[in-house]
Copies of this chain bind each other. A is one copy, B any other.
């Protein structure tokens, strides 16, 4: 039986709720990368990406390891990778019915 606190769950799910974070996850889904590689990949700004990385780490979705002056980030484990894949699978099935949330919530 799975026992999960709803607030913890929301923190976890928060990781998936921003375009930049999803792009980061996709960027490091199969190979670890340094912050600057990710910044380049996404054509983003260093501070911003760094903040999103901190968020993803806090959400338990990625892990980082320091190697010299670089920090390498990767997706936490296979389960998280599976979840990312599952998004695409479900989305493939659902996408024609998505109209959602121009102004969000409504």
Contacts and interface: CB of A to CB of B under 8 A. Distances in A.
Which of A9, A61, A77 has most B Cβ within 10 Å?
A9
A71 interface: no
A13 B70 CA distance: 31
Interface string A56-88: 011111000000000000001101101100111
A31 interface: no
14 contacts: A8-B95, A8-B98, A11-B99, A14-B101, A17-B17, A51-B105, A51-B106, A57-B100, A58-B98, A61-B94, A76-B94, A76-B97, A82-B90, A83-B90
A54 B71 CA distance: 42
Interface residues of A, number: 53
Given A15-B100, A87-B9, A106 B54 contact: yes
A2 B91 CA distance: 9
Contacts of A15: 100
Interface in A10-56: 10-19, 22-23, 51-52, 54-55
